[in-house]
Chains A and B, each alone.
Chain A
Amino acid sequence: MRHIISITDLSLQEIDELILTAQDIIRHPDKYRDVCRHKKLATLFFEPSTRTRLSFEAAMYELGGQVLGFSEAASSSAAKGESVADTIRTVCCYADIIAMRHPKEGAPTVASVHASVPVINAGDGGHNHPTQTLTDLLTIKAEKGQFNGLTVGLCGDLKFGRTVHSLITAMCRYPDVRFVLISPEELKVPSYVKIPLKEGNVPYTQTTDLVSVLPELDILYMTRVQRERFFNEDDYVRLKDSYILTPEKLSHAKADLAIMHPLPRVNEISTAIDVDPRACYFKQALNGKFIRMALILKLLEVAA
């Protein structure tokens, strides 16, 4: 039995296999229609979500399985003070696999210790979001054909942006990848995320200026400044409009730039960019379903 708490729980070979499976699902959906019949996915979302929860649920339905769970902590016994451990022990009585989102960092690690079925981290606070990263990797593979040699710009809230942390951790394992980290001083990448960069001698630069680095990027990964991660509203208000991508700024970018965003966005990408062929963020949302189908199959050890 495997749990996926961090993207590093998967080897590069396993990620490649998941991408291949997802691509096969896209080409031959009928092959996978009923392979998870009588299997149940529990979606335990202690924090709100649109894409992640619905894509997990859509993934399980498309595999012929069933879904149970809750979409906010208030509708679970967590509201009565039940511990993560007790919730997980209970849910394991009813489900074959668990996807869990929690506002506190490390909650899925606690869950994995007490679970008798596979646990997938669907986002824990500002820490990790491995299935978003699988989604991002599938999208990058589709747009760029490979991971090697790309210059990846990550922009916005790099401190609390769990999708950013997991993507850096994943992409730094590929050869000749370079990172450009664009954020306000207060929202720079935490030190633990930079450990694999330093250990692997992966080149990266940190800057506060998006426009000056745009021309060198193959991928621009925008993120939202997340109100829910701030204890102080004044800090949020001061930082929330740090970066807004507009068509004018994009005029400096490469013609084959891939503009990505884990969504939801607020105003950091102008809606005028949605029609730009370089915009990939809604493709990411679609890919999220396919890669999660592949991951569910792998963890349930089900073959098509």
Chain B
Amino acid sequence: MNIDSIKNGIVIDHIKAGQGMRIYDFLELDKLDCSVAIIKNASSSKMGKKDIIKIDSNLNVDLNALGYIDPNITINVIKDSVRVKKYHPELPDTITNIIRCKNPRCITSTEQELPHIFKLIDREKDEYRCLYCESKANA
């Protein structure tokens, strides 16, 4: 299967197989009018299978938020068809509207407009807690 290489944009590589659509939805890539490719179940020497997303545009979003969804992914920044940066996203200090608080006693359970915000409490344990009720995040 051939996917054209991109000139200026981002390649999100080493996505755990099956998680590609979640990242596609989170980044709202359906709203872009540039070329976007999702490759599912690509062969990987490290992972066996992986997903890849190629975006032929520079996204104006904090890609570190992806670190919560899948900390092992690789982000490649492409300029003039050359990779100029490659990195793993760090766990963000806060994540907003990626996961929802499941505590039925939390204010977010009744106030539908509130953003679901979680703060990073322990970087080593990847532990996030709800900003409002301090319940532990369950991904």
A277 to chain B, nearest CB (A): 38
Does chain B have a CB within 8 A of A69? no
Question: Does any Cβ of B come within 8 Å of A127's Cβ?
Answer: yes
**Residue numbers in B under 8 Å from A85 (CB-CB):** 111
Question: B104's closest neighbor in chain A, by CB?
Answer: A231
Q: What is the interface residue range for chain B against chain A? A: 20 to 34
**Interface contact B121-A195, CB-CB below 8 Å:** yes
B97 to chain A, nearest CB (A): 15
The answer to whether the Cβ of B124 comes within 8 Å of any Cβ in the partner chain is no
Q: Which of B109, B113, B135 contacts A104 (CB 8 A)?
A: B109
- Pick the residue among A106, A107, A124, A229 that contacts B130 (CB under 8 A): A106
* B121/A105 in contact, CB under 8 A: no
- Tell me whether A84 and B121 are in contact (CB under 8 A): no
A62 to B71, CA, bound (A): 56
Label chain B's interface by main secondary structure: loop
Tell me whether A105 and B132 are in contact (CB under 8 A).
yes
Cβ proximity bits B85-109 to A, threshold 8 Å, 1 near / 0 not: 0000000000000000001111111
Which of A83, A84, A110, A192 contacts B135 (CB under 8 A)? A192
- A126: contacting residue among B105, B107, B113, CB under 8 A: B105
CB neighbours of B49 from chain A (8 A)? none
Q: Is the interface of A mostly helix, strand, loop or mixed?
A: mixed
Q: If the complex has contacts A125-B105, A126-B105, A192-B136, are A106 and B113 also in contact, measured as CB distance less than 8 A?
A: no
CA distance A177 to B129 in the complex (A): 27
The CA-CA distance from A124 to B103 in the complex, in Å, is 14
Q: Are A106 and B108 in contact (CB under 8 A)?
A: yes
Question: Which of B105, B106, B108 has most chain A Cβ within 10 Å?
Answer: B105
Interface string of B57-80 (1 = CB under 8 A from A): 000000000000000000000000
Asked if B132 contacts A110 (CB within 8 A), the reply is yes
Residues on A lying within 8 angstroms of B by beta carbon are: 83-85, 102-107, 109-110, 124-127, 191-192, 195, 229, 231
Return 24 A-B CB contacts under 8 Å, by A number: A84-B107, A104-B105, A104-B106, A104-B109, A104-B110, A104-B111, A105-B103, A105-B106, A105-B107, A106-B130, A106-B131, A106-B133, A109-B107, A109-B131, A110-B107, A110-B132, A124-B107, A125-B105, A125-B133, A127-B133, A127-B134, A192-B134, A192-B136, A195-B121
